[in-house]
Structure 1
Amino acid sequence: MDYRAAGVDVEEGRAFVKRIRRLVEGTFRPGVIGGIGGFGGCFQLPQGYQEPVLVSGTDGVGTKLKIAHAVNRHDTVGVDLVAMCVNDVLTSGAEPLFFLDYIATGKLDQEQLTQVVTGIAHGCTQAGCALLGGETAEMPGFYQAGEYDLAGFCVGIVEKSQMLDGSQVEIGDVAIALPSTGVHSNGLSLVRKIIATQGYSWDTTPEIFAGKTLAEVFLTPTQIYVKPVLAARRAGLTIHGMAHITGGGLPENLPRALAPGQAIQLDTASLPHPDLFTWLAHVGDVSATDMYNTFNMGIGFVLFVPQAQTSSTINYFNSQNLAAFAIGEVIPGNGEITGIPDSF
């Protein structure tokens, strides 16, 4: 008996690392010390900070991976993995510096996992952070054949005086929404339940989605907001707070960006109604309340800005080819959110 007979091929793992080396090194940015293959990734903090604060975030992709496995498409979920981490770190005003990944599988499939790492590298490039290292674990008997799981970890940096923690948000601030590219990486268990119970397959092409299959629609990667939002701050726009709209939707994530004694009044009429979410609600017979408590409903990121800067903020993001629109304002309260539609 040897390790290969037990289901773990060490040589295959070494060959995989060699295969992805260029993908990883292609994400390197100033500050990276050394290359891949060591016991730890090394990064030198940028100069010029008076009181640098490191901000960390970790996340996964969730059951979106079940769709990737079902249709054998693995080039987008790596972007999701990065996005879920860097968008969280961004809410503190931090610039992502580096990213680490963890990939666990029953049997290492180089072609499959190279697609995954390609997506991770693309996500890191979009966020401007280095893919500093990672871990690939081959665990026979733990995962079904052809399946894998992902986890990611990101570290960013922000000047302490520029860090956002909710205390800067003021009564009267306007909530500016940046659109999502779909469901992102949340609510996929409900999506899968709807697809399965209504008799659809992942290669179904509902007319409403303009010829795209359901797999293509729901594997659309999460939008990464890092570069345009950081550029907005550097351009002098005042941003008092940010929220990444993930699991729990607007009701759960908007209050996380507020200071004590504050609440949010949404302008119901200004909320988007993307066809994707209308279709899910109709096909799955899901109530508006459950939809808004599960999905981002077309809003992936929210900025809180002074009322006087509403137009300039919207105009700035529009000039960067990113839609932006006001959806409400901060009012006195205790973290509640009002204005959520009770029907479609």
Structure 2
Amino acid sequence: MKIDFLLGPVFGRGGVETVVAEISNGLRLRGHQIRVLQMYPVLFQEWLNKLPGVTYIGPPISDPAYGQIIRDFAHDAARLADFYDKHYLPDVLLATHSPIPVLVASHAFRNRNDLRPPVVSWLHSPPEAYQPMLWMLNHADAHIAISTDIRYKLRKCLSREQPIYLIHNPIKQDNIRPIARSKGDMFHFVFVGRLENREKRVDLLIESISKLTGQFYLHLIGDGPDRDQLMKLAAVKKVSRKIKWYGWVEDPWSVILHGDLLVVPSAYEGFSMVSVEALARGIPVLATDCGGPRDIVTEGVGWLFPPGDGNALYKILQSILDGQILLPQQDCCMKAARRFYINDILDKFVFMLTEMASPSRSHRKCQMFD
């Protein structure tokens, strides 16, 4: 099968980039013909080397629209249509990770009539994160929802009935080693992600640990626009000596010697890839009940708390330090991660792609993988 990925704006580092690389390469290894079409320049170019068949179809660097996220999408559609005039059409096009590639692909294919390939949207954040662009999703033929929360919200915001496939993001099961729990009275809390406060709410985490009593250490792995602001906040709250700042690390789990709990204080998460990665290494998860984590942090492997509720976050962390809450067993956490292994997820992708490429796809109903 011929499958194209049409990419919206990405930086080159993050969960979206990891998932696109894993799925595109996994499908290629299963014998499918893969192309990745890049609409925007990528800040961290080394990520592109992990992708099969990358082609840049955005405006040239001399164009004032180069690098602009909001621009005249008619020009993008024209460039994509020109690309397909010179190259083969795919059997299915996956438009990710925002609604913009959906609109561009739909307009590029609009004059092809029966030759028009189906366009499948693949959002990686909750639909509300893409306001006011949600109307663009109605130009897709189907949708991939990476969580049950996104599936529910997609159904509510679409103006017409379209198939929605629930397919979680995958992790590779190769070379995953359990990470040891701490010994003695010192607890090791872990945060892995972008250091910014609008979505990831690292500020909430720092404010919460500043109230804790007991022996603990917070490992902050990642980088981002609010790093300096967060370091100042840690100093003001007098917790700098309890935090280790790693910066961005290609393989964050390789630098953690001991990990007792992953903390995900996000305002919203489409899925929470890092939560699955932590569970696979035997680390329980404390996350906000913000949609995506609800599919991952189930009973017996962690806890959920309301988004933005720093007091609830503090109380759970303090109860762990006090021994009032016991951490889940490593083997329970690792077992819970197995349903996200990449081979099972690829099976669901192949099923979806086969249905969408079928001539009878217009008669298909919404598919739900549980």
Per the normalisation by structure 2, the TM-score is 0.24
Structure with bigger strand share is: 1
1 or 2 for the larger relative contact order (CA 8 Å, sep ≥6)? 1
